[in-house]
Structure formats: C-alpha cells, structure tokens
Amino acid sequence: MRRHSRIRTGWAAGAVLALALVTGCEGLEADDDAPPPGSGADAPVSGHAVSPLDNPDGTRPGLAPVAGDRARASARELIDTLRTKGRGPKTGYDRDEFGYAWMDTADGVPLARNGCDTRNDVLKRDGEKVRFKSGSDCVVIAMTLDDPYTGTSIEWRKQKASEVQIDHVVPLSYSWQMGSSRWPEGKREQLANDPLNLLPVEGRANSAKSDSGPASWLPPAKSVRCAYAVRFAQVAVKYELAVTEADRATMAKQCQG
C-alpha cells in the first residue's frame, strides 16, 4: 500500500465560499431551459430530497430543485466564482489513483471511518424504505430511490445492483484532466469518497453521462439542472478545481431566472 501524502489544507478554504452562499433559498420550481437532444423528463418533487444550497456538505439526501429568484441568484454567484481552463489530456488516468472503491478510510470527508463503506453510506442517505442485510446496519439490499436525474422512482434490489449506480458529480477522469493528476493521493481519495460528490442515480443515466462535463451532458430531468450545476460547482469550489469555459457557461444558463 502506498503511503499517503499529507494533504494540504489550503484547498479547503474554497469550501467557506460555498457555505457562504447557501442563504436565501425558498420554494420549488422547474427550470425551463431547453433540454439536450433526447431529453424532456421532469423530476418529481420529493419531500426526501434537499436543495444543494441547503446541503453544502452533502450529508443530506438527494438533489431537490433550486427555486426562487434569490436562490437562483445565489447559484449563479457561486458558479461565477469558478476558474476556467482547457481540459487537459487523460494520460495516466486510472481509477486506482483515487483509492479503491468504496473505501471508508478517506480522512477529511463526512461519514469516513464510520464502519460502513462509501457506497452503502450514500445508498442509506438517499434511499427510502431502506432494507439491510440480515445482521447489518450498513449493507443495503433494497430501497426506493427517487432518481434526480431521470425523475423516476426506482424499486431497487441488490440482485440487480446495476440499476442504481453511484455517480461522481464531478467525474474522476474530468478532475484528472483539470488538475487532480497533480494532487497528493489523499486528496484524490477524498474527492472519490466525498458525499458532496456522490449521488445514487439510475444506472443508464450514469452510463450515458460517463466523464462528461455539464456542457456535454445534463440530467434529462429539466427541473434539477440548476441543482446539478450548483452541486458540480460546490465540488469544484471545495477542491479548487477549474472547469472549462463551456461548462461554466452551461451551468450558469441552467440557473437563469
């Protein structure tokens, strides 16, 4: 096992900015920005889901729509703080550079070292009617998921595990191309296991997204596109990641009034 480098704490200062922008949130309303080709679903409003503006550390469930003029203005302000640069090469990228999946030992993120692996942590966080393996309060074997990306309700069972996948909102390979290739190993492990960057979603939607940025892929459910842009921005701010100019422009567009 490789020895982890001591993680510099300067990058976390950006999280303070994200926390400062969570005020003024209210109501729920749909985002009517034009969908990408082939989309058009609209997400149901789930009482279980929380707006990302009210959930800056990612420990509360789901991805509820961002609504109201003040909330959308806060969202755009956050997005406007993002640095931009071109997407670099993928040379050298490997999932193992971010630690094994799904480790419970990525220090510095919520839910770490709680005796339950990251995947099951976020399934418990976002699922409803959660059932656990006999004798366990960790291993999820069944649940109902209101998928934010497609607006569908999924009755998930572990026998068909791929029907729900854990999405890295900021894809790991995207982060690699935007600078995480130069991070210490411990910081990459944090990004890979931070609940702020993780959402259980429909497997097909996650596969369709792949390692795309927002300019290339947005959730089919129009009503959560601003929320998705906010969550992408929150992760980028926390980890001091730049995004492409096209991605930032697309993100800002989703949160227009």
Q: Each residue of 114-136: pLDDT tens digit?
A: 999 999 999 999 999 999 999 99
Percent of the chain with pLDDT over 70: 82
Place of tokens 């595990």: 161
**H-helix or E-strand containing 252?**
helix 245-254
Strands (DSSP E) contained in 5-45 are none
Q: Which amino acid is at 236?
A: A
Query: In whole angstroms, what is the distance from residue 119 CA to residue 152 CA?
Result: 21
pLDDT digits 0-9 by tens, 21-64: 333 332 323 333 333 333 334 544 456 899 999 999 999 999 99
Mean pLDDT of 179-190: 97
pTM of the predicted model, to two decimals? 0.83
With contact defined as beta carbons under 8 Å apart, do 141 and 131 qualify?
A: yes
Beta carbons within 10 angstroms of residue 10's beta carbon: 8
